[in-house]
Amino acid sequence: MKWVLIFLAAVILLMGSIVPLAGMMVTKGLENPRKSWAPGLTQKGARMRMFFGNYAAAAKIWERAASTWPAHPDHPRMLYRVAFCLEKSGNVKLAIAWYEKYLASHPSHSWKEQAQRRLVQLKGV
């Protein structure tokens, strides 16, 4: 029983330090947009926010990343994730707009069918 309590305390402490760490990662990445490691670090911070269910914050990070690195190979995923996070946070109208933006700017991306399905479901078609 003692070890279970110690383990749970360690998990709680670890989880409490991850959110600030994600924020530091995003800040560091966005403050250094010309560094080769910046897009990846920022994306990791955004994914951590998503993992912990903070979709509204993650949407803002993905949006900023997409505008900061429009030529990055992960740009299509950034746009899609803005839409996904907006959808998860309950902002359906904006999610629709971002899914449409993703499809218009990257019509042959591998996630296009998934985005099309999300749009149909969100629009209630």
CATH number, domain with residue 24: 1.25.40.10
**How do residues 37-48 score in pLDDT, each as one tens digit?**
999 999 999 999
Counting the structural domains of the chain, the total is 1
What's this model's pTM, rounded to 2 decimal places?
A: 0.84
**pLDDT for 2:** 72
Amino acid in the structure at residue 100:
E
Contact 14, 33 (CB under 8 A): no
Instruction: Give the number of residues written for the chain.
Output: 125
Contact 64, 81 (CB under 8 A): no
Neighbours of 76 (CB within 10 A): 21
Segment 84-111, tens digit of pLDDT: 999 999 999 999 999 999 999 999 999 9
Q: Report residue 17's pLDDT band, with 50, 70 and 90 as the boundaries.
A: low
Average predicted confidence (pLDDT) for the chain:
89
How many Å apart are CA 72 and CA 56, to the nearest integer? 23
State how far the Cα of 83 lies from the Cα of 99, in Å rounded to an integer: 5
Range of the domain at 32: 2-123
